[in-house]
Amino acid sequence: MPDDQSKVRSFNAILGDRPYILILGTMPGVLSLERGRYYEDPRNCFWRLISDVLEETEPKNYECRINMLKRRHIALWNVLRSCDRSGSLDKDICGEEHNDIASLLDQTPTIRAICFNGRKTAEMYDKDERNQRRENLEYRLLPSSSGKLRKRFHEQRSQEWRALRQLLTENPKPQVDGFELRINVFHITEG
């Protein structure tokens, strides 16, 4: 490991009660790591993009941002548990250790789609042999919310992120242990 790199560690997943979508990043940037908050760098467009997707005003308070995700059934995590990296760029990542996303999916059967925040995230996900693509999940590659791409392609990026609305509006069929749950309701009247 070069002298200018240091070991960085990710955060816990943000899950909420019944997440339908899991949005994955690679590893939080320096400012996010310093503050202990996802997508804290103001140059990163994540909170603007996801607020646009949800057709909500972008919350300024971090707790409100997290509550918005949970309320709208969106989980957030990173592919990497830890890595060696100087700065915030994914291209500088080496010595990575992966989060156990397969176990998270096994424990959270309500998740029906995984969205990758950028191509590098998808590549890192596929490097971990535990992450076999599952037939019951939809996978979407989204343009990175990184500030590096901020001005260029912003409208195109926003349109691709808006496609997440479809995943949130489709009526999910509740499942228990992989089986569709059917609920019959009977109304009993006296008389």
pTM: 0.81
The answer to whether residues 39 and 117 touch, using CB atoms and an 8 Å cutoff, is no
Residue 191 in any domain: the answer is: no
Q: How does DSSP assign the chain, residue by residue?
A: --TT-EEEE-PPPB--SS-SEEEEESS--HHHHHHT-TT--TT--HHHHHHHHHT-PPPSSHHHHHHHHHHTTEEEEESEEEEEESSS-GGG-EEEEE--HHHHHHH-TT--EEEEESHHHHHHHHHSTT-PPPTTSEEEEE----GGGSSTTHHHHHHHHHTHHHHHHS-PPPEETTEE-----------
Whether 162 maps to a domain, the answer reads yes
Point out the catalytic residue in the list 44, 78, 99, 117.
44
Asked if residue 189 is part of any domain, the answer here is no
In a domain, 54, yes or no: yes
Q: What is the pLDDT of residues 140-177, one digit of tens each?
A: 999 988 875 555 566 778 888 888 888 887 645 444 44
* pLDDT tens profile 24-73: 998 888 788 889 999 998 888 899 999 999 999 999 999 999 999 999 99
* Boundaries of domain holding 126: 6-180
Residue 61 bears catalytic tag = no
Q: Is the residue at 1 inside a domain?
A: no
Domain count, the chain: 1
Residue 21 domain-assigned? yes
User: Does residue 13 fall inside a structural domain?
Assistant: yes
* CATH value at residue 137: 3.40.470.10
Residue 186 belongs to a domain = no
Calculate mean pLDDT across residues 98-127.
93
